[in-house]
Structure 1
Amino acid sequence: MKWIVLIISILIFNAVAILMRKRLKISEIYATVAVALLLDLLVDVYASFRFKAWGFFEVEKAEFSVILILFGIYPAVATMIINWYPYKSVWKLKLGYLIGWAVFSTAYEWLTVKVGILWHINWNLFYSLVMYPFIYYMLILHVRMYRRIMAINGTQ
């Protein structure tokens, strides 16, 4: 069942990310997704092996199949989050957007725990629900920082 959920997730998330109307430049998306993957890898390694908080598939193992999650799901979801973010809206709408993604992500995390893609030991879904808005806002801050750097370089 976990492989069916994983493959369907990869197909759906990537189809949406590829087919959606892009509101950001490809360079903004690429740079932000690259930074997100780097940070995620660092956090996941410590969470899995140092703190035994969460991990993928089997506890105490670094599995090749995690690459499917890292490159099949994370970039597509990060692309959707930064692309659809209401950059020019009021703060309440921005906060609601981040909370909406946090709720969706926590529900998806619950599904992945139930089917065995993800495990939690020293972690629970409430922690994820609280952390996701901050994590996603870091992606938004990266987009803004990237734009400023490009403007300083005169390449925007």
Structure 2
Amino acid sequence: MILQITSVVLFNFIIYKTIKGISANKIVHIWIFTIAFQLLFDIFIDLKYKGYWYFTQEIDWVAFPAYTILVPPVNLMFINWYPFTGSFMKKIRYFIIWEIFFLSYEAAAMLPHPFGFFHYGWWSIWHSAIVNPILLTILIGYYKWISALEKKACV
């Protein structure tokens, strides 16, 4: 719980202070896309298959911030600093740095109560290591798509 509250405040503060070059329209799109995609993913992995869960294995209000105000600013940070014009190797390094951050954060979130809030069923850190780059690639694709739509709408 302590990590969740601290992270929500810290991640939202960081994105508020550092976001640049991303329109309000794109911010809203990424925020809502993140919530919808995370909920869709977690309906199956968390609720149906009991792969992992936040706090308890039930639907509960205490996990609400994890779905709505914890992950969206992290995705915005990822997009905000992503080297869109960088070389392929720079993009790979960027992914590796974020993967290390994500896996470290996940490990910290698994610490016992009151610090942690995340629990594994059959899911493991190795599943996350494989799935995270796929999810980030989907996020980049979505961002590029809404950027193209926004550009087309402004013409």
| TM-score above 0.5, yes or no | yes
Alpha-carbon separation, structure 1, partners of 2:3 and 2:33: 26
Which residue number corresponds to residue 67 of structure 2? 70
Report the 3-state secondary structure (helix = DSSP H, G, I; strand = E; otherwise coil) of the residue aligned with 1:65: helix
Letter in 1 for 2:23: K
Answer yes or no: is the 8 Å Cα contact 1:101–1:133 preserved in 2: no
Alpha-carbon separation, structure 2, partners of 1:151 and 1:25: 11
Alpha-carbon separation, structure 1, partners of 2:19 and 2:48: 40
Shift of 1:19: 0.6
Write the deviation string for residues 30-83 of structure 1: whole angstroms up to 9, x where unpaired. Answer: 212211210100111111121110111012x11101111112211110110111
Name which of 76, 91, 96 aligns with 2:93. Answer: 96
> How many residue pairs are counted as aligned between the two chains?
152
Question: TM-score scaled to structure 1, two decimals?
Answer: 0.91
Alpha-carbon separation, structure 2, partners of 1:40 and 1:21: 22
Alpha-carbon separation, structure 2, partners of 1:133 and 1:38: 18
Alpha-carbon separation, structure 2, partners of 1:21 and 1:33: 13
Which residue number corresponds to residue 113 of structure 1? 110
Report the 3-state secondary structure (helix = DSSP H, G, I; strand = E; otherwise coil) of the residue aligned with 2:61: coil
Q: Following TM superposition, where does structure 1 have runs of at least 4 consecutive aligned residues deviating by more than 3 angstroms?
A: none
Answer yes or no: is the 8 Å Cα contact 1:22–1:83 preserved in 2: yes
Shift of the 151–49 alpha-carbon distance from structure 1 to 2, 3 Å rule, reads same
Any residues of structure 2 matched to 1:3-152 within 5 Å, and which? 3-59=1-57, 61-115=58-112, 116-152=116-152
Letter in 2 for 1:104: F
Shift of 1:100: 1.2
Letter in 2 for 1:42: L
Between stretches 37-46 and 114-123, larger displacement belongs to 114-123
Alpha-carbon separation, structure 1, partners of 2:83 and 2:24: 18
Q: Structure 2 regions of 5+ residues with no counterpart?
A: none
RMSD: 1.4
Answer yes or no: is the 8 Å Cα contact 2:26–2:146 preserved in 1: yes
Letter in 2 for 1:136: L
Question: TM-score scaled to structure 2, two decimals?
Answer: 0.91
Letter in 2 for 1:128: S
